[in-house]
Amino acid sequence: MSSERKVRVRFAPSPTGGLHLGGVRTALFNYLFARQHQGDFILRIEDTDQTRFVAGAEEYITECLAWCGMEPDESPNKPGAFGPYRQSERKPSYRQFAEQLIEAGYAYYAFDTAAELDAERQTQPNFRYSHENRMNLRNSLSLSTAETEALLSAGHPYTIRIKVPTDETVSFTDLIRGKVSFDTNLVDDKVLLKADGMPTYHLAVVVDDKAMEISHIFRGEEWLPSAPIHILLWQYLGWEAAMPAWAHLPLILKPDGNGKLSKRDGDRLGFPVYAMNWKDANSETLTKGFREMGFLPEAFVNMLGVLGWNDGTEQELFSIEELIAKFSIARVSKAGAKFDFEKAKWFNHEWIKGASTQSLLPQVKELLAEQGVNDASDAQIEEVLLAVKERLTFVSDFWAQASFFFQRPASYDLDAVKPKWSEEKTAFFQAMSISFDGFDTWEAPTLEAFFKEAIKESGMKMGELMMPFRIMLVGGKFGPDVFQIVQLLGKQEVIARMQLALKAFTA
RNA sequence: GGCCCGUUCGUCUAGGGGUUAGGACGUUAGAUUUUCAUUCUAGAAACAGGGGUUCGAUUCCCCUACGGGCUACCA
């Protein structure tokens, strides 16, 4: 049925806050599938719940997708043939379809207020609005036509609920899980149109997916229980032939304990859960994002792409282009996956190692500017980057790993040098400093050979002099190869640092 | 409680009726780096349990257990 159809998928986030891992992955799988089949990837905004709608969230979502390299073919901001894509802007058509369902006998007006239903739930622990009790509640099925008309014309608030059939089985083939079945006797009469005139998600997705000619639906597993409602709606609206194929993605779970990964877990365990920084306008709280933490979008996408999917080989590193080429729904796993931040870091490390120094430059310059370093040339920065790149897990580690290239050591690890310091060593470095001054070309290999030869002649041990030399230049026992540092620092700076350090060592 | 989905090393997973059950992250030990990190090599580490079916089940079926999701006029 859908094999002939043009592939058209949509990502449908609700603009209620930041975009978390699960959301981005759902978007990604939709995107990969669309690209793989030369189809369309559409962004549709679910904003009918006005009480939870958050200003700025829609723009935020668009930016997240762009950062990850996913450009929607049509979005709410670029109205296309199937727009508008905001649920709230499509209000009239939802009501029309809800009423169409009532006329066909597949739905009904329900006059019970939220408070009344809450009261029912208080007394009946397993209360469900369903075929078992709908005749005991206040709705157009239990009331006479005249009573219903009276309530309606009196302006009594009402909702429209689906009339789920009795003794039927709703089943469908999930692209990931195979055949899934539900007994309609256990499905309740969900609200389709709320008292405020807005549709619930159930009505809205079906109507919109039909209007947008969606061919495949990839959504989180948390939607599986409401799938029978959606399928019934496709049938009752007379659109069964146009129904999309379904695939329910496994959930991303907390790393420790159990349950769905939430924003709070990130705060608690010290890693981001949102793609980018999210600042809540009301509470003024800032939730850290992967982008700001120093993740490369390629690494982020790679990590998400293989969380619950693999290509069957031992390959782990994939570019988004490779993911598009190799993705297959059949290879998406069924079980939920616990999020592992250590592995996420590893992906980032790998992508930084593989990144060109040029591509890393803008972010590094920003970091340097934050530290007040503005006089370094691009060429200089790139050379340093080349030296320290493979040591970085995050781009933001750059300063910690390379500050000494741009700044003289603020302090020295004196405990490592002072106890064993001697006049002899002072003399050695003084002499070395004079010798260095005589060099016309300044290159690591020759300097290293010269330095080591001098040590040999002095009769002292290598370690006794190499270590202090490093500390003179960088302040401590860390950093790349000493002579690589020497070369990058340049003659004048090396000599100056030696002199400065000698004073500190002998003070 | 009810319904639905799931279950291979600590974690993400490959595999699939007969395998030394493979890889990656993490971890441990060595090597290299006269620093730290990287890197390299090696090691420890898993088929939830019970019944079937079968010559043979980790693989297929059933049950149990466990985990997760849903059970709103939220999505």
Percentage of chain A lying above the pLDDT 90 cut: 85
Nearest nucleic acid nucleotide to A346, CA to C1' distance: B25
Q: What are the backbone dihedrals phi and psi of residue A321, each rounded to the nearest 5 degrees, phi first?
A: -65, -40
Higher-confidence residue of A48 and A136: namely: A136
Rounded CA separation A42/A74 (Å):
5
Mean pLDDT of A346-370: 94
The tokens describing A52, both together, are: 């939870």
SS3 call for A442: coil
Cβ-contact A234, A172 below 8 angstroms = no
Instruction: Identify, with chain letter, the residue nearest to nucleotide B37 (CA–C1').
Output: A391
For residue A263, say whether it is annotated as part of any ligand binding site. Answer: yes
Is the pLDDT assigned to residue A3 strictly greater than 70? no
Mean of the per-residue pLDDT values of chain A: 93
List strand B contacts in A 397-426 (CB < 7 A). none
Domains and CATH numbers, chain A: 8-76+205-250 (3.40.50.620), 91-193 (3.90.800.10), 263-354 (1.10.1160.10), 356-399 (1.10.8), 408-506 (1.10.10.350)
Nearest nucleic acid nucleotide to A174, CA to C1' distance: B5
Within 7 A of a protein CB, which nucleotides of strand B?
A: 1-8, 10-15, 22-26, 33-39, 67-75
Residue that is written with structure tokens 């509640």 in the block: A137
Residues A303-324 have pLDDT tens digits of 999 999 999 999 999 999 999 9
Is the pLDDT assigned to residue A287 strictly greater than 50? yes
SS3 percent helix, strand, coil of chain A, rounded to 5, is: 50, 10, 35
Is the pLDDT assigned to residue A29 strictly greater than 60? yes
CA distances from A238 to A170, A190, A206, A234 (A): 16, 19, 12, 6
Is any atom of strand B within 7 angstroms of residue A349's beta carbon? yes
Q: What are the backbone dihedrals phi and psi of residue A11, each rounded to the nearest 5 degrees, phi first?
A: -105, 125
What number is the ipTM of this complex? 0.94
Is the pLDDT assigned to residue A2 strictly greater than 90? no
Rounded CA separation A5/A28 (Å):
21
Instruction: Identify, with chain letter, the residue nearest to nucleotide B68 (CA–C1').
Output: A259
Is any atom of strand B within 7 angstroms of residue A112's beta carbon? yes
Query: Which residues lie across from A337 on neighbouring strands?
Result: A252
Mean pLDDT of A422-439: 94
The C1' atom of B21 and the CA atom of A332 lie apart, in whole Å, by 21
Give the 3-state secondary structure of A72-97.
Answer: CCEECCECCCCCCCEHHHHHHHHHHH
In chain A, the N- to C-terminal Cα span, in Å, equals 85
Mean pLDDT of A21-44: 96
Is any atom of strand B within 7 angstroms of residue A342's beta carbon? yes
Provide the pLDDT confidence category of residue A285 given band limits of 50, 70 and 90: confident
Is the pLDDT assigned to residue A377 strictly greater than 80? yes
- Strands A40-43 and A178-183 turn out to be unpaired
The conformational region for residue A480 under phi > 0 = left, psi -120 to 50 = alpha, else beta, is beta
List strand B contacts in A 357-396 (CB < 7 A). 390-391
Nearest nucleic acid nucleotide to A260, CA to C1' distance: B68
The tokens describing A423, both together, are: 């006049």
Mean pLDDT of A192-207: 95
Is any atom of strand B within 7 angstroms of residue A182's beta carbon? yes
The C1' atom of B25 and the CA atom of A343 lie apart, in whole Å, by 5
pLDDT at residue A87, as a whole number: 87
Is the pLDDT assigned to residue A440 strictly greater than 50? yes
The single-letter code of the amino acid at A278 is W
Cβ-contact A42, A212 below 8 angstroms = yes
Mean pLDDT of A212-231: 96
Rounded CA separation A378/A376 (Å):
7
Is any atom of strand B within 7 angstroms of residue A452's beta carbon? yes
Q: Is A263 a catalytic residue?
A: yes
In angstroms, how far is CA A127 from the centroid of its own chain? 37
Is the pLDDT assigned to residue A274 strictly greater than 90? yes
The tokens describing A257, both together, are: 């304990």
CA distances from A157 to A110, A153, A333 (A): 9, 10, 45
Cβ-contact A129, A117 below 8 angstroms = yes
Q: Where are the beta strands (DSSP E) in A197-260?
A: 216-220, 245-249, 252-253
Catalytic residue among A263, A418, A452, A491: A263
Nearest nucleic acid nucleotide to A347, CA to C1' distance: B25
pLDDT at residue A1, as a whole number: 45
- CA torsion through residues A210, A214, A215, A216, sign: negative
What number of other Cβ atoms are within 10 A of residue A346's Cβ? 15
Mean pLDDT of A345-365: 95
List strand B contacts in A 237-276 (CB < 7 A). 250-251, 253, 255, 257-260
Rounded CA separation A140/A110 (Å):
6
List strand B contacts in A 127-166 (CB < 7 A). 127-129, 157, 159
Is the pLDDT assigned to residue A116 strictly greater than 70? yes
Nearest nucleic acid nucleotide to A341, CA to C1' distance: B25
What number of other Cβ atoms are within 10 A of residue A146's Cβ? 8
Q: What are the backbone dihedrals phi and psi of residue A442, each rounded to the nearest 5 degrees, phi first?
A: -125, 85
pTM beyond cutoff 0.90: yes
Mean pLDDT of A410-436: 93
Q: Which helix (H) or strand (E) holds A326?
A: helix A320-326
Q: Which residues contact A184 (CB under 8 A, 6 or more apart)?
A: A164, A165, A166, A167, A168, A169, A170, A228, A232
Provide the pLDDT confidence category of residue A98 given band limits of 50, 70 and 90: very high
The tokens describing A436, both together, are: 């260095």
List strand B contacts in A 16-45 (CB < 7 A). none
Provide the pLDDT confidence category of residue A7 given band limits of 50, 70 and 90: very high
Is any atom of strand B within 7 angstroms of residue A343's beta carbon? yes
Percentage of chain A lying above the pLDDT 70 cut: 99
Mean pLDDT of A171-187: 94
What number of other Cβ atoms are within 10 A of residue A63's Cβ? 14
Residue that is written with structure tokens 């029978």 in the block: A228
